[in-house]
A and B are shown apart, each in its own frame.
Chain A
């Protein structure tokens, strides 16, 4: 959106690579990922399972350190999160940058009350007194739309429904007023009606607290309805990036085109759907050339030998493809 008056970069990620495994097997889960997120902005990361979306989020917060190596940079207030020592990371994690996970049941401690779990975050990241913390905890449950917040603080996660648990997760994540929220498939396990409520909640919180959000999802509809920017990932790399409007209306990478066409929208019912032929390549044996070449309808000889770099076009679009799909020339689909 060019009309935005001032943009302040919050987090600048560049050249982020994460590799798992040791010895002879190494799995390049994330390769050369870069993006910038501004205050109050919501960025979507989309792709199929195994494309590296979640690992990207985890690498930013240093959660994948134990299992693999991360290189590159993630600049946060002048500090590179990738090389930051674990002790400093703990200060930021949960405080300035918070994360919510896909499965609210496995991410909440079943043995602690919701109140204790919110309090934990506040204790670690703020200097509030016990009374203030309790007040904030009630306020947070209220903000995320849990009725009778005061009395529910003493309840355990199993006493909440799926949607309510996800709200509790969001309340915990937002309790210390983070400036950046990493949301890993926050609504995938929920019903559409609850999904709509949770997405609206994230949208309004981003606006109210001027918080940046990175939203990982595989649902293009969710991206269309909540994000301003989107990055499409394939086999660990970003293959297309730009504003949601332009990417979804006029995808230029053949993979994005395929993804959009696989969604049954505006196609006659009960007709065959478009599907991308083949399956994603194994990360253990990625081809030298473009990882998508084997499934690509626009493949040429060069695609199998050379790998296309992410190239910036005008209008803030970047596409990593030798044979970009032509723009439709402004006409809306």
Chain B
């Protein structure tokens, strides 16, 4: 097993709810949005870890916590043993350089008034990546890396298509020679054929530059294709984590089973074995007691309504947070 680059331990984050004047007068307690409720995982050197879950489950919040866009209320994130939220590390910009984030929306994550060249050279200058006279060569090299034509440097973001913008976003992240890429729904806004191009680019870059990638996405087929390991998140907790192929071929947690079976197959005759989830994701304002999934679960027992299952390793599979992981049949 290779070394852990990022060790995330028990990270939790609650966003403070807003209180209106009426709430204060009537003394209603503040409601917090519990986005993350104790997430622990290791990101290992050179791997791609996929993170899947429904919207609102906390997968983007986790990604943002890792790059210090949010500060967790509890838990810790260690990067090569260094606590990234420790007070004396806060001013340290090398972490920001070594762990880079790429965002979902290629239209709002690039400054519309800067050319591609300006966007990329800004990143180079902020981190003092190379002497001023070497910047043009480095830019040309980056354009080459993400397979964009050289004249793209003179253009503004609006002149590019969605796929090309994501290439610019990737180039911006790569400009500062990071070791870890956090890709938050990087290809979700793109058409399938363009998606394939970006996925190929990422796989190729990872191979050449030895990058470690956290790949957050809701497209399960893509995550399966990209990842070495996969974590399934439900209401701010990891319910299952393990080797990608094992998890996709035989998910163990009832939620993973339902989530994976909901992805529509390309085969018109493959309509069977769908597990229907009733209802929707409960609000993170008001997470059910016990196992948070019990309100939608087919296998719930009285124990599930009171006791929170811990993430524990299951023989021959990954780690699963379910009281009945052994009894539940694989599908």
In whole Å, how far is A303's beta carbon from the nearest beta carbon of chain B? 19
A274 at the interface (CB under 8 A from B): yes
Chain A, Cβ-Cβ closest to B228: A270
A304–B167 Cα distance when bound, in Å, is 30
> Considering residues A192, A200, A221, A259, which has the most beta carbons from chain B within 10 angstroms of its beta carbon?
A192
Q: Is the CB of A196 within 8 A of B225?
A: no
A46–B188 Cα distance when bound, in Å, is 17
Q: How large is the interface on B (under 10, 10 to 19, 20 to 34, 35 or more residues)?
A: 35 or more
- B221 interface neighbour in A264, A270, A274, A279, Cβ under 8 Å: A264
Q: Is the CB of A273 within 8 A of B271?
A: no
A199–B274 Cα distance when bound, in Å, is 13
Q: Is the CB of B192 within 8 A of A265?
A: no
Interface residues of A in 174-217 (CB under 8 A from B): 191-197, 199-200
B224 partner residues in chain A, CB cutoff 8 A:
264, 269
- B265 interface neighbour in A162, A221, A271, A273, Cβ under 8 Å: A221
B259 partner residues in chain A, CB cutoff 8 A:
192-193
Chain A, Cβ-Cβ closest to B53: A191
B197 at the interface (CB under 8 A from A): yes
Q: Is the CB of B193 within 8 A of A225?
A: no
> Considering residues B200, B224, B225, B268, which has the most beta carbons from chain A within 10 angstroms of its beta carbon?
B268
Contact with B along A86-101 (1 / 0, CB 8 A): 0000000000000000
Number of A-B contacts (CB under 8 A): 117
B14 at the interface (CB under 8 A from A): no
- A221 interface neighbour in B55, B195, B264, Cβ under 8 Å: B264
- A270 interface neighbour in B193, B195, B218, B225, Cβ under 8 Å: B225
Contact with A along B270-304 (1 / 0, CB 8 A): 11001011001100000000000000000000000
Q: Is the CB of A262 within 8 A of B264?
A: no
Q: Is the CB of B274 within 8 A of A196?
A: yes
B277 partner residues in chain A, CB cutoff 8 A:
193, 197
B265 partner residues in chain A, CB cutoff 8 A:
221, 224-225, 265
A248–B270 Cα distance when bound, in Å, is 13
A275–B201 Cα distance when bound, in Å, is 11
In whole Å, how far is B49's beta carbon from the nearest beta carbon of chain A? 13
Q: Which secondary structure characterizes the binding site on chain A?
A: helix
Contact with B along A50-79 (1 / 0, CB 8 A): 000000000000000000000000000000
A262–B225 Cα distance when bound, in Å, is 12
Chain A, Cβ-Cβ closest to B223: A264
In whole Å, how far is B225's beta carbon from the nearest beta carbon of chain A? 4
- Beyond A163-B280, A192-B259, whether A279 also contacts B268 by CB under 8 A is no
In whole Å, how far is A277's beta carbon from the nearest beta carbon of chain B? 9
A191–B259 Cα distance when bound, in Å, is 9
Q: Is the CB of A264 within 8 A of B199?
A: yes
Q: Is the CB of B267 within 8 A of A224?
A: yes
Q: Is the CB of A260 within 8 A of B269?
A: no
Chain A, Cβ-Cβ closest to B55: A191
B258 partner residues in chain A, CB cutoff 8 A:
193
Contact with A along B185-214 (1 / 0, CB 8 A): 000000111111101100110000000000
Q: Is the CB of B266 within 8 A of A164?
A: no
In the complex, how many residues of chain A place their beta carbon closer than 8 angstroms to a beta carbon of chain B? 43
Q: Is the CB of B204 within 8 A of A272?
A: yes
In whole Å, how far is B134's beta carbon from the nearest beta carbon of chain A? 31
B82 at the interface (CB under 8 A from A): no
B177 partner residues in chain A, CB cutoff 8 A:
none
Q: Is the CB of B225 within 8 A of A273?
A: yes
- Beyond A193-B277, A264-B199, A274-B196, whether A245 also contacts B268 by CB under 8 A is yes
Interface residues of A in 208-263 (CB under 8 A from B): 218-222, 224-225, 244-245, 248-249, 258-260, 262-263
A221–B54 Cα distance when bound, in Å, is 18
Q: Is the CB of A269 within 8 A of B163?
A: no
Chain B, Cβ-Cβ closest to A222: B264
A49 at the interface (CB under 8 A from B): yes
A48–B161 Cα distance when bound, in Å, is 13
Q: Is the CB of A221 within 8 A of B263?
A: yes
B222 at the interface (CB under 8 A from A): yes
- Beyond A191-B55, A244-B268, whether A48 also contacts B191 by CB under 8 A is yes
Q: Is the CB of B266 within 8 A of A262?
A: no
In whole Å, how far is A166's beta carbon from the nearest beta carbon of chain B? 11
B262 at the interface (CB under 8 A from A): yes
Chain A, Cβ-Cβ closest to B225: A264
A275 partner residues in chain B, CB cutoff 8 A:
193-194, 196-197, 200
- Beyond A267-B225, A270-B203, A275-B200, whether A196 also contacts B262 by CB under 8 A is yes
B102 at the interface (CB under 8 A from A): no
A271–B225 Cα distance when bound, in Å, is 8
B232 at the interface (CB under 8 A from A): no
In whole Å, how far is B222's beta carbon from the nearest beta carbon of chain A? 6
Other 16 A-B pairs with CB < 8 A, given A195-B262, A270-B225, A273-B196: A48-B192, A193-B54, A193-B258, A193-B277, A197-B276, A197-B277, A219-B264, A220-B192, A221-B264, A221-B265, A248-B268, A265-B265, A270-B203, A274-B196, A275-B197, A279-B194
Of all A-B residue pairs in the complex, the 8 with the closest CB atoms, nearest first, are: A221-B264, A275-B196, A264-B225, A273-B196, A262-B196, A48-B191, A191-B54, A192-B262
B residues lining the A interface (CB < 8 Å) = 48, 54-55, 161-163, 191-197, 199-200, 203-204, 218, 220-222, 224-228, 244-245, 258-259, 262-271, 274, 276-277, 280-281
A residues lining the B interface (CB < 8 Å) = 48-49, 161-164, 191-197, 199-200, 218-222, 224-225, 244-245, 248-249, 258-260, 262-265, 267, 269-276, 279
Q: Return 16 A-B CB contacts under 8 Å, by A number.
A: A191-B55, A192-B220, A195-B262, A196-B274, A197-B276, A200-B276, A220-B192, A221-B263, A224-B265, A225-B265, A259-B192, A263-B192, A263-B266, A265-B266, A269-B227, A273-B199
